[in-house]
Structure 1
Amino acid sequence: MNIHPNKIVKFEDLGVKDYQSSWDYQEQLMKSIIDTKVKNRDLPDDEKIITDNHFLLVEHPHVYTLGKSGHEENMLAGSEKLKEIGATFVKVNRGGDITYHGYGQVVGYPILDLENFFTDIHLYMRNLEEVIIKTIAEFGLKGERSPGETGVWLDVGKPYARKICAMGVKASRWVTLHGFALNVNTDMRYFEYIVPCGIQDKQVTSIKRELERDLAPEEMEKVKNSIKFHFAEVFGAKFSH
């Protein structure tokens, strides 16, 4: 299948990287794309520069992040407890409330110029959910959407509904920032110190918890490769390195 050049996405696996420097890097990539878009305004159509698209995968050391519409009271641990459990707390400019990132979690940051794909944030979020739904299906898990609640869930509509992937994004001039966090081998005890995503009556889970076993390193790689494969499939994109 021929992929249009504007749907080529530069992929990077950042390994384990702290949250703030990863955010700074996202902002840097976003600025570069926006600068190109501004420059294109003054160029004739046949001279316009194709804007970049990026997709980052990363694992963060323990950190709690609070979205701009979030409520600080959903952070249940004070500074002493954060120090004790080796976690940090960062206020961010994405949508959504509070969430946790940590070891054993696969975090994805697509920095896309949506004008290369479609200009619809709602569709963008549904597509991200679809990528994760298809990914966890490969591990025998049935991911679902929960009406009015972004992310990917298991057993929606049942008393034991639980979220396996949180999402929160920001967009500026149709360029996206932030993304999703899929719990794979995540230490779920860290969620006890927050009201995850501000939702009090539902639980969080991980692939590890659902399968009742740790995933081996090669299985973590399988998760990442599945995410990449389904991202390219859902978005009609192609990765470059």
Structure 2
Amino acid sequence: MSLGIVFLSEVMGTMMLTLLGCGVVANVALKGTKGNAGGFHLVNWGWGLAVMAGVFVAAKSGAQLNPAVTVGVWLSGGKEFAPGVPVDAASIFTSISGELVGAFLGAVFCWVAYKQHFDEEPDAATKLGVFSTGPAIRSYGWNVATEIIGTFVLVFVILLFGKSAAGLGPLPVALLVVGIGASLGGPTGYAINPARDLGPRIAHALLPIKGKGSSDWAYSWVPIVGPLVGGALGGLMANWMPLLVK
């Protein structure tokens, strides 16, 4: 399979992921929406179903949708992300690039869908929270630890499901994401995906959002470093436990 197809597949899948995922946050958080104050469990289910949609869309490239998953599959010893998509430097770079572009585009389309509600929302932090994650209690070391743990669970369990993302059905992954959000999402909002956080944060910085305030770049490294470390540990642990992953 050509790298162009891999790139487009990851762009479209991750775009769907972030459009629907950021969309459920917007529906719950922004002033005057039909889903306003729907609660954190609605957000968890919305993100889980967003992942399911993204996995269907990006099946040809292995539906990685997440640099932490890409790295985890590599470190687990996986040979292919999907049939015809080898785990090599070119595919890894192409996949991660597509994930970042798709996450950015999904956030842009979410803003378009909720433009009037962004205009009506008075709180800048609420607007940023639609695009990117932030901690309930800001303590960078503990925040990183939370993201490491959540992403470890994501990648390790995905690899137990099917050894590589290419072999997974969408529903188990969706339910896993719902479970991670319900169980581990409280401290940081569970980014568990560097592209999911960085792409929309860049969109927040660039879009002409009324009264948007800061994009909180001081925190932005946490949902990048934490998930990458957690994904790497998940991949390595899966590689060390062959009896469980075969």
Question: By the TM > 0.5 criterion, same fold?
Answer: no
Between Structure 1 and Structure 2, which shows a larger proportion of helix residues?
A: 2
How does the TM-score come out when normalised to structure 2? 0.30
Between Structure 1 and Structure 2, which shows a larger proportion of strand residues?
A: 1
More RCO (CA 8 Å, sep 6+): 2
How does the TM-score come out when normalised to structure 1? 0.30
